[in-house]
């Protein structure tokens, strides 16, 4: 009975957060291994938001994508739960280095900026259902300073496909130092875009905060990721 009540409260919170531009995430007591498992102790009661609209703000059919968040003194953690009808996977995946143009396949994405006065500068992190990844330094205001794919954040990913349930999971552990945050504290706010690309043509663009344009690279449309 208690578990049912907790699940109902979490679902209500997720639905409420889906209509907000702020995602508050709670601190974990310690860093933890990546499992890509929402039932893991660190994730089962974690705050979450639902992504049920596309980049234009239109409602998407089916179950929403869900993103959960946690943080520690060293790292930011995100866990994506991605229901699917059919996966669009890159042949011959490799997971030991960046995968260029990973966005041409099924992928979950997080765009995160920590400079309030420099909205055009942010970091992009991606994970695929097969555990492929890429991290990018984006600077739309100063292209001459943009590192792009040459940048290395030192982040880690874990992915898992549940083919029976038709859901794939992608987990990210992002060092705060890679975001330019030396000492994260409760109350810190980061600008964040949480996205997903799914399916073959025509691709579906899932957006927590719709950009109203054909690209996710609209930093003015980012929401707020707040440490609690």
pLDDT at residue 15 above 50?
no
CA distance 128 to 88: 10
Nearest alpha-carbon partner for 105 in 118, 87, 121: 87
Structure tokens at 46: 């974690």
Q: Which residue has the tokens 């991606």?
A: 126
13 has pLDDT over 50: no
pLDDT score of 201:
86
Give the pLDDT of residue 8: 39
Cα–Cα distance measured from residue 188 to residue 26, given in angstroms and rounded to the nearest whole number:
12
Note the pLDDT tens digit of each residue in 190-228: 999 999 999 988 999 999 999 999 999 999 999 999 999
Mean pLDDT, rounded, for 173-183:
97
- The β-bridge relationship of strands 107-113 and 75-83 is unpaired
- Band of the pLDDT at 43, cuts 50, 70, 90? very high
How confident is the model at residue 1, as a pLDDT? Answer: 40
* pLDDT over 70 at 60, yes or no: yes
118-166: per-residue pLDDT in tens?
999 999 999 999 999 999 999 988 776 667 878 999 999 999 999 999 9
Residue 11 has pLDDT above 70, yes or no: no
Tokens of 50: 């639902």
Q: Is 85 exposed, middle or buried (0-12, 13-18, 19+ CB in 10 A)?
A: exposed
Give the residue numbers spanning the domain of 34.
2-227
* Residue 12: predicted pLDDT: 41
Kindly write down the DSSP assignment for every residue of the chain, as one continuous string. Answer: -HHHHHHHHHHHHHHHHHTSSEEEEEEPSS-------TTSTTTTT--EEEE-BBTTSPBPSSSPEEEEEEE-SSEEEEEEEEE-SS----SS---SS--TTGGGSSEEEEEEE--TT-TTEEEEEEE-TTS-EEEEEEESS-GGG--BTT-----EEEEEEETTTTEEEEEEEEEGGGGT-SS--TT-EEEEEEEEEESSSSPEEEESS--SSS-S--GGG-EEEEE-
Using CA atoms in the order 23, 27, 219, 146, what is the torsion angle rounded to 10 degrees? -170
Structure tokens at 209: 């905060």
Report pLDDT for 149. 79
Q: pTM score, two decimals?
A: 0.90
Check which CATH number belongs to the domain holding 105 and give it.
2.60.40.1190
Residue whose entry in the numeric block shows the structure tokens 């974990």: 28
Q: Output the pLDDT for position 117.
A: 87
Q: Mind listing the pLDDT tens digit for each residue in 70-125?
A: 999 999 999 999 999 999 999 999 999 999 999 999 999 999 999 988 999 999 99
- What was the pLDDT predicted at 74? 98
Give how many domains the chain has, as a whole number: 1
């Amino acid at each position: 009975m208690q578990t049912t009540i907790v699940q109902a409260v979490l679902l209500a919170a997720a639905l409420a957060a889906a209509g907000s531009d702020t995602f508050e995430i709670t601190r974990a007591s310690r860093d933890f291994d990546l499992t890509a498992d929402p039932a893991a102790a660190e994730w089962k009661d974690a705050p979450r938001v639902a992504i049920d609209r596309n980049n234009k703000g239109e409602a998407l059919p089916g179950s929403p994508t869900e993103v959960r968040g946690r943080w520690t003194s060293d790292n930011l953690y995100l866990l994506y739960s991605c229901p699917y009808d059919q996966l669009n996977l890159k042949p011959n995946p490799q997971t030991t280095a960046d995968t260029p143009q990973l966005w041409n396949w099924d992928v979950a994405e997080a765009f995160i900026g920590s400079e309030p006065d420099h909205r055009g500068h942010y970091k992009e992190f991606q994970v695929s259902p097969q555990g492929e990844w890429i991290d990018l330094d984006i600077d739309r205001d100063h292209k001459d300073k943009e590192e792009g794919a040459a940048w290395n954040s030192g982040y880690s990913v874990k992915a898992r496909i549940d083919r029976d349930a038709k859901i794939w999971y992608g987990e990210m552990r992002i060092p705060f130092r890679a975001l330019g945050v030396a000492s994260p504290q409760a109350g810190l706010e980061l600008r964040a875009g949480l996205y997903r690309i799914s399916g073959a043509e025509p691709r579906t663009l899932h957006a927590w905060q719709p950009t109203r344009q054909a690209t996710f690279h609209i930093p003015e449309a980012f929401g707020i990721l707040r440490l609690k």
